[in-house]
Amino acid sequence: MAETKMRQLRDELIATYGPWTAHSIHLGDGLYTFEPHVDPRLRRFVQIASDIVAKPLSTLRVLDLACLEGHYGIEFALHGATVVAIEGREVNLAKAQFAKDVFSLSNLELVRDDVRNLSRERYGEFDVVLCLGILYHLDAPDAMEFMKSVFEACKRVAIIDTLFSVGGTDSHTWNDKKYWGQYTQEHDQQATAEEQLKQLWYSIGNWRSFRLTRASLQNLFRHVGFTSAYECLNPYEYTHPDWPKVATDDRHVVEPNRTTFVAIKGQHQQLISSPITEASAEKDAPERPEYYVSPPGTARPTG
Q: Which amino acid is at 289?
A: P
Q: Are 9 and 98 in contact (CB under 8 A)?
A: yes
* Separation CA 223–CA 219 (nearest Å): 6
pTM equals 0.93
* Separation CA 293–CA 104 (nearest Å): 60
Apex 237 CA angle, 95 and 289, nearest 5: 125
Q: How many CB atoms lie within 10 A of CB 177?
A: 13
pLDDT of residue 291: 63
Apex 33 CA angle, 89 and 245, nearest 5: 95
Bridge partners, 239 (sequence order): 253
Residue 186 half-sphere exposure toward CB, CA atoms < 13 A: 27
pLDDT of residue 246: 73
pLDDT of residue 18: 96
Q: 225: alpha, beta or left, given left = phi > 0 and alpha = psi -120 to 50?
A: left
* Separation CA 70–CA 204 (nearest Å): 18
Relative to beta strand 154-163, strand 31-32 is unpaired
* Reduced 3-state DSSP string for 99-118: HHHHHCCCCEEEEECCHHHC
* Separation CA 179–CA 210 (nearest Å): 10
Q: Are 111 and 84 in contact (CB under 8 A)?
A: yes
* Separation CA 270–CA 238 (nearest Å): 39
Q: Could you please state the CATH topology (level 3) that the domain comprising 39-270 is classified under.
A: Rossmann fold (3.40.50)
Residues 6+ apart with CB under 8 A from 245: none
Q: How many CB atoms lie within 10 A of CB 118?
A: 21
- Neighbour-count burial of 98, counting CB atoms closer than 10 A to its CB (0-12 exposed, 13-18 middle, 19+ buried): buried
pLDDT of residue 239: 85
Q: Are 41 and 243 in contact (CB under 8 A)?
A: no
* Separation CA 81–CA 106 (nearest Å): 11
Q: How many CB atoms lie within 10 A of CB 196?
A: 19
pLDDT of residue 222: 98
- pLDDT tens sequence for the chain (303 residues): 688 899 999 999 999 999 999 999 999 988 999 988 889 999 999 999 999 999 999 999 999 999 999 999 999 999 999 999 999 999 999 999 999 999 999 999 999 999 999 999 999 999 999 999 999 999 999 999 999 999 999 999 999 999 999 988 999 999 999 999 999 999 999 999 999 999 999 999 999 999 999 999 999 999 999 999 999 999 998 888 887 777 677 788 888 999 999 999 999 999 999 999 999 999 999 998 666 666 666 555 555
pLDDT of residue 197: 95
Could you tell me the residue ranges of all domains in the chain? 39-270
